[in-house]
Homo-oligomer: A and B are copies of this chain.
Amino acid sequence: MASDFVPKNRDFAQAVRESFGRQGALTSIGAVMEDLVPGSCRIRLPFSERVSQQQGFFHGGIIATVADSAGGYAAMTLTAAGAEVLTVEYKINFLAPAEAPAILAAGRVVRAGRTLSVTWVEVDMVGSDGSLRPCAILQQTIMTVQPRPVVV
């Protein structure tokens, strides 16, 4: 994961990983943030009963949640210190039933704006041999909420 983006916050990785750690909904189901570079973020989720639907595949709502987070955190790598990101909207296509030992959501920033950013996320099924096959793609708009200026 190379990157042409220059982060505004030198400590972007720490800020993103702390925010991710506070997301109980993700960490409690076993999601792990892997690569994190300016403009990109990858989140891996191993299969378990907690993330499955009745046929034993990954649940669509879980896939969307992980993809949404990968895009949002990719955007957050490029925001100023103290800023927060909110999902304005996304669109997701499901490409195949997600039956695999794990899924990997790779989000990247397509446009980094002061207020609005646009990201694109590919979610792959990770085979036991490490092979990747796409199971969903997501296109997303993220809003940055700038930190309030501190008035002394």
Contacts and interface: CB of A to CB of B under 8 A. Distances in A.
Given A89-B91, A116-B88, A65 B61 contact: yes
A118 B91 CA distance: 13
Nearest to A120: B137
Number of chain A interface residues as a range = 35 or more
Interface of A: 22-25, 53-54, 59-62, 64-65, 68, 86-96, 110-111, 115-116, 118, 120, 122, 134, 137, 139, 141, 143
Given A61-B61, A68-B60, A96-B111, A139 B24 contact: no
A91 B91 contact: yes
Contacts of A24: 53-54
Main secondary structure of the interface of A (DSSP, over half): strand
A23 B68 contact: no
A110 to B, nearest CB: 6
Contacts of A53: 23-25
Contacts of A118: 89, 93, 95, 137
B141 A88 contact: yes
